[in-house]
Amino acid sequence: MNKYLDIAPEVREALAAGRPVVALESTIISHGMPYPKNVETALLVEQTIRDNGAVPATIAVIGGRLKAGLSREEIEHLGKAGRAVAKASRRDLPALVARGADGATTVATTMIIAHLAGIKIFATGGIGGVHRGAETTMDISADLEELAQTPVMVVCAGAKSILDLGLTLEYLETKGVPVIGYGTEELPAFYTRKSGFGVDYRVDSPAELAAMFAAQRGLDYKGGMLVTNPIPEEYAMDKAVIDAAIEQALTEAKEQGIHGKETTPFLLAKVVELTGGESLESNIQLVLNNARLAARTAAELAK
């Protein structure tokens, strides 16, 4: 086992016994929602995974240790500290470990730590991707590179709709990452069920997802698999409303000089503000939906 990695006893026992385990990120706790809603949501997502037959492993960096599985106290700590906790992508792990610091893991770092622990499936909200205007800014999320090189299935509600979805799909295609639509042939766009862009394959059951991932692993591919699971219909937002909020948020980000890893938290917080909190409730419900699918798929894979 990696000398910097701590696996929670419950997670370690489940992995040793071949039982299903689902990884969860921690950026959503410290950077995605206000306290105490962030802690309540994190615990609810963990319970949702248990209710669907798997063991949750929320991932973070605590005191310089890579953690696969957090205690309630550690989740509370991340929630209360909020944005004082570093947002940890791949490039940040060496510094955080060396300095004994805390870090809330993005999709990329959650994949890295999950893979080190032997966890094959990870549920999140939405992945990062190619930002709008990336042809001049070169602002492309490390999540896409991680999907190209780390063999973990990521279950999400598509790419965040603040991104350039067409370019994100092109980038994933270039990197050979399969983009699977769960019950859909169209890429979901986080808050909304449709984007106008197609996925590579449609799959209609957790068993089929597990079989496809097992085949990918059997072929010894080095990369992962992206499963896009549309937000439940009753929580989907009106596309015109969300698009207008995103455009205003992008304008304000540009005016304020927001860039780099601060961009996504700023845009998501601004969209919550502009939609009167409606987008926050949608965000929570899509994460729960992804947790259910990931747990059921992990259970099938464990068979």
**Catalytic sites, residue numbers:** 25, 160
Q: List Cβ neighbours of 24 (8 Å cut-off, separation of 6 or more).
A: 42, 45, 46, 49, 56, 57, 58, 59, 110, 122, 123, 124, 291
DSSP 264-290: HHHHHHHHHHHTTTHHHHHHHHHHHHH
CA torsion, points 129, 174, 120, 228, in degrees to nearest 10?
A: 50
CA atoms of 292 and 38, how far apart (whole Å)? 19
Q: List Cβ neighbours of 265 (8 Å cut-off, separation of 6 or more).
A: 31, 32, 83, 87
CA atoms of 17 and 191, how far apart (whole Å)? 37
